[in-house]
Amino acid sequence: MNLVKTVVGYPYIGDNRQWKRVVESFWKDAISEEEFRQQMHDLRIAYLKRQQALGVDLLTVGDFTLYDRILDLSVMFGLVPARYHTQGNQPSLDTYYAMARGAKDVVACEMTKWFNTNYHYIVPEYEEDALSFQHNYLLEYFEEAKNELGVITKPTLIGPYTFLTLTKGYSKQQRAAYILALIPLYARVINELTAAGATWIQLEEPALTKTLADDEVKLVEEIYQQLAAETTGAQLLIETYFEALTAYDRLIKLPVAGIGLDFVHGKKENMEAIRKFGFPTEKLIAIGCVNGRDIWSANLAQVTSDVKTVLALSGVENAWIQSSCSLQHVPVTTASEQKIAVVLKEALSFADEKIQEIIQIADHLVTTDEGAKQTVSHSTNAIEALAADASRQNQKVKQLIEAVTEQQFSRETSYENRQIAQQEALQLPDFPTTTIGSFPQSADVKKMRAQWRKKEITDEQYADFVKKETARWIHIQEEIGLDVFVHGEFERTDMVEYFGEKLTGFAFTDKAWVVSYGSRCVKPPIIYGDVEWTEAMTVKEIVNAQSLTNKYVKGMLTGPVTILNWSFVRDDIPRELVANQIALALRQEIAALEEAGIVVIQVDEPALREGLPLRQENKDDYLNWAVRAFKLATSSVLPTTQIHTHMCYCEFNDFIGPIRALDADVISLETSRSHGELIDSLQENHYELGIGLGVYDIHSPRIPKIEEITAILTDSLQVIDRKQFWVNPDCGLKTRQQYETVEALKNMVAATQKLRQQVKTVN
């Protein structure tokens, strides 16, 4: 038996966010393009050496990116929309980043969630006859590893079927032409890599774990048959992850040399499929047995037993022992964490530690060495110690959960009656303008927070600074002319971390960063124990802001499902139960805000959709408990208290049912990059509750023109009743500069005033 130790992919961010600093230095013109490319090269080589030192047998290239791996493929295949004016020339680095972030005179490409993760990718845009082969960056990465390290690596790229399903812009009639144009490009990449000496090429196909109709399975078969015919000498491995391989009995026969299966998230179904249909013994099986999406130590005894079962059932001679998916979804190493309690740290495993687990599993399978047995025993002891910890034995939380009644999951008054009561109580104008919540986290804000964290300034000094910054932005909002204000969230580092710090059951890290999109990195909290509300978390800051203005200031909370999905969550109890613990804590916070006189309260759920299972048959169960958790948090308020929520990249057309089921008085949607799709959706699906449209893209530094926003508002008015219609940016503004923020909001308000005048004139 030949067991190779490898990973699907490794984090490109670096253990101290080195990658982020290089990228942002280039954006700021602090380094030249030549310096940028050299520093990126140095990072790639350093990461490969790090994995070598950890004991990885087969290193991977192509898991690195300058912004986003899907964008890398789009540019390599010439999918550069005409608005970027490349005119057939090879796209420049400036064009690449314009597609990602927008530029002064051009909007960015659409960005959306990568399957059911918190990572966002840049959506490929197909324009007829647009495909052409550009620079093969994978060949460059392969050759630099070969020449500088003397190793033959495994190049990886997103597979053709997944790339096809993620692309937008082609009609049903154009799909065949797009596929026919795409396959030769993949073939050229593969053939060039093979000619350079690549022995294995990994094609990542997570779309093959979704529910596929028979005609889609047939299309996958046809794509790979044609790809096999156009490539010679290449050993292709199809890598699947996030769920079990669908249509296993057919897709396992694809003309490739190996198949990668997820035996973490797709363990049950993949095991059953192998038992029923076997596995082609001439193929290599890549066993994804170490969880690439969470931060908990593997139960090595159980995982080793599972791998033995897979090897016995498959009967193969060659296998890879690997992560279940790319390790980019977890932080780099626990070695950087010095403040976490020992009982918790012993039970944690980040990317480097997961590689060590892969090696330990492989070693345990091929040796009877006593040290290997002790390693397995140590992992079991760490898991059991955390399970017995007092943090997981909170009787008060248990009693609160047991006391929940069905009535607590719904508002007492219907939306129609609430709308009348709120219009009378709040007296807002048509098309109320507001923002999503956060304002720019300036250098001064970050500096003061850092000083406070280091205890270089007192709690009182920090609180005084936050008050002054809040007052300054209340004044700015008055000058801009917004209708409903926010306090700006200057006391908050992150919309999840802030609440986790004030609830029990959460732990926080120093350097456990992961990429959310582009260079935007987050440090997800760790929910390791029972979650309990102990005191008001936001009331003081919101009440202070409200005292500074006669306009309404929104209470700002992060919803239970978003706190869940944007954290690393304990795996010893169902996620539904954790969501309900968080919901009960937020319910108490909402009651405290309402008691303090706050009558507009926003409970954001931007991550509701990303927890959605990939398999159609599993979606209803998740949506049922996720929606109920939101309603458990928000249903106790008076009819005159207006509940808002916010969602990111929710694919409204497919998600209108759950959005409606939330029963929020107003939902704001992040749709500026795909506004036309939302309008089409609203034409087909009537939505009767309040809705705020994201009328400009906050992820881009460009300032939208009044005419652009006016056009969006005018189009939207065709499908949204003016009594329901709110106007807002598409997301929070913490990552923008003050000048960009103020000018964009001024244009948004000016466009809204034009719309009010138009409607008034018509009536």
Strand 318-323 with 514-517, pairing: unpaired
Does 731 show up as a binding residue in the annotation? yes
Does 489 show up as a binding residue in the annotation? yes
Does 109 show up as a binding residue in the annotation? no
155 vs 228: CA distance, rounded Å? 17
Catalytic residue among 265, 329, 487, 699: 699
C-beta of residue 578 within 8 angstroms of C-beta of residue 632? no
For residue 8, give the amino acid letter.
Answer: V
C-beta of residue 445 within 8 angstroms of C-beta of residue 490? yes
Residues facing residue 259 across a β-bridge: 238, 285
Residues facing residue 558 across a β-bridge: 604
C-beta of residue 136 within 8 angstroms of C-beta of residue 189? yes
C-beta of residue 334 within 8 angstroms of C-beta of residue 353? yes
φ and ψ at 569, to 5 degrees? Answer: -110, 140
Instruction: Take residue 481 and report the two structure tokens written for it.
Output: 């002319």
Residue keyed to tokens 């795996």: 571
For residue 529, give the amino acid letter.
Answer: G
Enumerate residues 6+ apart whose C-beta is below 8 A from 666.
642, 643, 644, 645, 689, 690, 691, 692, 726
Strand 526-527 with 506-507, pairing: antiparallel
**Cα 63 from chain centroid (whole Å):** 17
Does 179 show up as a binding residue in the annotation? no
3-state secondary structure of 740: helix
Does 610 show up as a binding residue in the annotation? yes
Does 192 show up as a binding residue in the annotation? no
- Nearest Cα residue to 133 out of 78, 195, 74: 78
Strand 2-5 with 258-262, pairing: unpaired
C-beta of residue 709 within 8 angstroms of C-beta of residue 744? no
Question: What is residue 97's DSSP assignment?
Answer: H
Does 406 show up as a binding residue in the annotation? no
379 vs 100: CA distance, rounded Å? 42
C-beta of residue 153 within 8 angstroms of C-beta of residue 60? yes
φ and ψ at 122, to 5 degrees? Answer: -90, 120
Does 449 show up as a binding residue in the annotation? no
- Nearest Cα residue to 8 out of 193, 348, 248, 261: 261
Compute the residue count for the chain.
763
DSSP states of 351-419: HHHHHHHHHHHHHHHH---HHHHHHHHHHHHHHHHHHTSGGG--HHHHHHHHT--GGGGS-SS-HHHHH
φ and ψ at 659, to 5 degrees? Answer: -60, -45
234 vs 228: CA distance, rounded Å? 9
Does 113 show up as a binding residue in the annotation? yes
C-beta of residue 119 within 8 angstroms of C-beta of residue 517? yes
As a whole number of Å, the end-to-end CA separation of the chain is 80
Decide if 699 is catalytic.
yes
DSSP states of 243-277: SPPTTHHHHTTSSSSEEEEESSTTHHHHHHHHHHH
Does 436 show up as a binding residue in the annotation? yes
Does 438 show up as a binding residue in the annotation? yes
DSSP states of 419-468: HHHHHHHH-PPSS-B---SB----HHHHHHHHHHHTTSS-HHHHHHHHHH
Instruction: Take residue 183 and report the two structure tokens written for it.
Output: 């396959």
Residue keyed to tokens 């626990």: 334
Does 289 show up as a binding residue in the annotation? no
Query: Residue ranges for the binding site for L-methionine?
Result: 436-438, 489, 604
Query: Residue ranges for the binding site for L-homocysteine?
Result: 436-438, 489, 604
Query: Residue ranges for the binding site for 5-methyltetrahydropteroyltri-L-glutamate?
Result: 20, 113, 118, 520-521, 566, 610
Query: Residue ranges for the binding site?
Result: 20, 113, 118, 436-438, 489, 520-521, 566, 604, 610, 646, 648, 670, 731
Query: Residue ranges for the binding site for Zn(2+)?
Result: 646, 648, 670, 731
Q: Catalytic residue positions?
A: 699
